[in-house]
Amino acid sequence: MASIENISASTPARSTRPNWLVRDLVGLAVILVVAAIGYFLFPNNLALLTRILGVALLVLSIDLVTGFCGIATLGHAALFGAGAYASGIAAVHFGITDPLLMVVVGAVGGAVAGVVSGAVILRGHGLAQLVLSIAVVHLFHEAANKASAYTGGSDGLSGITPDPVFGIFAFDLWGRTAYGFAVALVVITFIVLRLITRSPFGMLCRGIKEDPIRIRAMGASVQGTLLKMYVISGAVAGTGGALNAISTQVVGLDSLSFTLSAEALVMLVLGGTGSLYGALIGTVSFMWFEDFVSAANPFHWLTIVGALLIAVVLFAPRGLYGTGLSFVERFRGNAK
Amino acid sequence: MPKASGLLLDHTMQTVLSVGIDALAYGMVLFVISIGLSVTMGLMRVVNLAHGAFAMIGGYIASYATQMLGFDYGVAILVAVVGTIIIAIPVERFLYRRIYGAPELTQVLMTIGITFCVIGIANYVFGPTLKTIPLPETLRGPVDLGFRSIAAHKLFAIACGVAVAAALWYLIERTSFGVKLRASVDNAAMAASLGVRTRIVYAVSFAVAVGLAAFGGIVGAELLPIEPYYALRYMVTFLVVVSVGGAGSIPGALLACLLLGAIDTTGRYLLPEYGEFFFYLAVIAIVCVFPRGLLGRSR
């Protein structure tokens, strides 16, 4: 029922093109303004802000498969870590230290990991799908641990020294360049994903989420479409991993962990699935909150996250963004 | 030369035997803990990631009862099982009941949330250190089986697994409650319209599942040590067992536990540097070939 209402509600918005264009431009402006505010409010904490942006790319990529295609996955850090290791190994072992090239290598690495894990995960449904995704991330983790000649094993891969961006902006000690680089990457990715999710392909993915049998009856390939989305998602997650590798100059095994996968999924649901803004809002609020509370006591942090999760599931199943949106709509309805 | 090869053969036999015993003990502990999860998942279709948390709670209560209150091992087991069920009842009533029939993502998040809460609280109350449950004299030493001696607690774990499997088989196949349970698993709506009070069936099987988890947590404390991150560390293992065996199938869960126990233990003995690589590779292979689990029924 909810889906039918959703579609009918969004139809008028799509028929008048300038409306959504204006809305997207406003959204983009809001992102840039928030990024600038972050820069001026926390000039000594830019490393944290950069890390948030890297994880935001991971959460966006989970949103692509979970929010838009309805695939429940607890193993998406495999793609993030694959991108991070791909760009890190390219820099350390093959001398590719141009940051833009490293991002491309990371995106390709993530996309390849997306093909592999998508091919495995899409074979199952429900519980089997969840277990397959968990098994995939553990498999990647153990493989990276074993291949310590390339990945540094449990010590992590260090010695990544990226060149200046465009040969001009060197990565400084305060992380200003890294932050600017990260904001640019997130904004570009956001625009690309906005176009993809609005394209016929994005609509097809939403259709598969609602009713795969009907989509198959229409003559579209369900598995092929989902695998394509998995590859796109892998490229986005790999970009996030590469950004993380470039800004921290080290890649650890924790970037391939089940914990990171689960946390990223929690961030997505906190913000709200099925919307790119929700993914960004969820990441920023979760990680800022984590930094704030875990400085006080790491164990209370777990208790609070647990309670927060239960509260979101019970009282705000559409996440912060979805709940805020419906609140605004109700307010507007009353005003009329 | 013949003597040397005979020694080698003897050594191989010894290794095979000790790997076999370890695998069997580990598999049986897995079985006792995860069989409850399998039954409730088959019955209520809830992806319950917090199941390991109940095993951990059982272990903590038993440890507290033996160490601080000086209870007997047997009494401590009883206290811990009952205590865990008492803790679980309000959790089921107020949290789980809201996610029956919800999408998987919702269930995963809710139960991960419960797990995080339990870890945080356990850490706060009992501290981050490892907790032991001292074994009674009779289970402490090795037992001589004639051809070799085996740690008594491993034999005890194996015996517990066999006993739980037999008791569950009797409960489900031979009692009237078992008939109602099987009817509810097959078709809850039809069972309800025939007069089975499915809500009570759900509540009782949830309590039994939690009690078995607590029991398994205590019996397996030597193999899966009790510490705050227990619930997170083995969460995946229990879920994997259910998925490989097929949700709701007792023989499936038993088969899965023995198989996965054997793969995991053999991997640890022979190729320790690969960690759990082969374990998860096997899981992917099995789940890809049998998406419903080894003995799960197609729906």
ipTM score of complex: 0.83
- The parts of chain B modelled with pLDDT lower than 50 are 1
Is there a domain that residue A176 lies in? yes
Closest CA to B41 of B249, B189, B295: B249
Question: Which amino acid, residue B261?
Answer: G
A269: which 2 tokens? Answer: 């649901």
| A267 located within any domain | no
Helix, strand, or coil (residue B142): strand
Give the containing element (helix H, strand E) for B143. strand B142-144
User: How many A/B residue pairs have CB atoms within 8 Å?
Assistant: 133
Residue A240 is part of which domain span?
Answer: 16-258
Residue of B95, B280, B283, B299 to mutate when probing chain A, most A C-beta within 10 A: B280
Is residue A221 one of the residues assigned to a domain? Answer: yes
Is the CB of A128 less than 8 angstroms away from the CB of B281? no
Is position A204 within any domain?
yes
A2 pLDDT higher than 50: no
Q: Which single residue is written with the structure tokens 């904004």?
A: A187
pLDDT band at A312 (very low <50, low <70, confident <90, very high): confident
* CB-CB under 8 Å, B280 with A309: no
pTM for this model (two decimals): 0.86
Q: C-alpha distances in angstroms, B231 versus A69, A277, A299, B44? A: 30, 33, 14, 21
Looking at the domain assignment, is residue A315 inside a domain? no
Q: Is residue A4 very low, low, confident or very high in pLDDT (cuts 50, 70, 90)?
A: very low
Three-point CA angle B94, B99, B103, nearest 5°:
165
* Mean pLDDT of all residues in A21-48: 84
According to DSSP, residue A272 is labeled -
Q: How confident is the model at residue A82 (pLDDT cuts 50, 70, 90)?
A: very high
In a domain? residue A299: no
Distances (CA, A) of B213 to B9, B50, B219: 40, 11, 10
pLDDT (0 to 100) of residue A187: 92
Count: domains in chain A: 1
Q: Which residues contact A290 (CB under 8 A, 6 or more apart)?
A: A301, A305
Q: Where residue A78 falls among pLDDT bands split at 50, 70, 90? A: very high
* Residue A73, token pair as written in the block: 């996955």
* pLDDT (average), residues A68-84: 90
Comparison of pLDDT for A168 and A48, the residue scoring more: A48
Whole-number Å distance between alpha carbons of B268 and B199: 43
Q: What whole-number percentage of chain A has pLDDT above 70?
A: 93
Q: Within 10 A of B157 (CB to CB), how many other CB atoms are there?
A: 26
Angle formed at CA A72 by CA A318 and CA B55, multiple of 5 degrees: 95
Q: Taking CB atoms and an 8 Å cutoff, what residues of chain B touch A299?
A: 119-120, 123-124, 128, 228
A119 interface with B at CB cutoff 8 Å: no
A108: tokens are 């390709």
Q: Which long-range contacts (CB under 8 A, 24 or more apart) does A185-189 make?
A: A185/A53, A185/A57, A185/A103, A185/A239, A185/A243, A186/A31, A186/A53, A186/A56, A186/A57, A187/A28, A187/A31, A187/A32, A189/A57, A189/A60, A189/A236, A189/A239
Taking residues A133-141, what's their average pLDDT? 91
**What rounded mean pLDDT belongs to chain A?**
84
**3-class DSSP assignment, residue A211:** coil
| For residue A215, pLDDT beyond 90 | no
Residue A143, chain B, CB below 8 Å: the answer is yes
Q: Which of B20, B21, B52, B23 is nearest to B37 (CA)?
A: B52
Residue A297 falls inside a structural domain: no
Q: What is the pLDDT of residue B163?
A: 93
Q: Which residue of A has its CA nearest to B287?
A: A128
Percentage of chain A lying above the pLDDT 90 cut? 26
Question: What's the pLDDT at B298?
Answer: 55
Q: pLDDT tens digit string along A252-307?
A: 888 888 889 988 998 998 888 888 888 999 999 888 888 888 777 766 788 888 88
Amino acid at A103: V
H or E stretch including A215? helix A212-218
Q: Examine the pLDDT at A6 and tell me if it is beyond 60.
A: no
**What pLDDT is recorded for position A62?**
93
Q: Is residue A59 part of a domain?
A: yes
Residue A9 has pLDDT above 60, yes or no: no
**pLDDT for A46 beyond 90:** no
CA dist B83 and B61 (Å) reads: 8
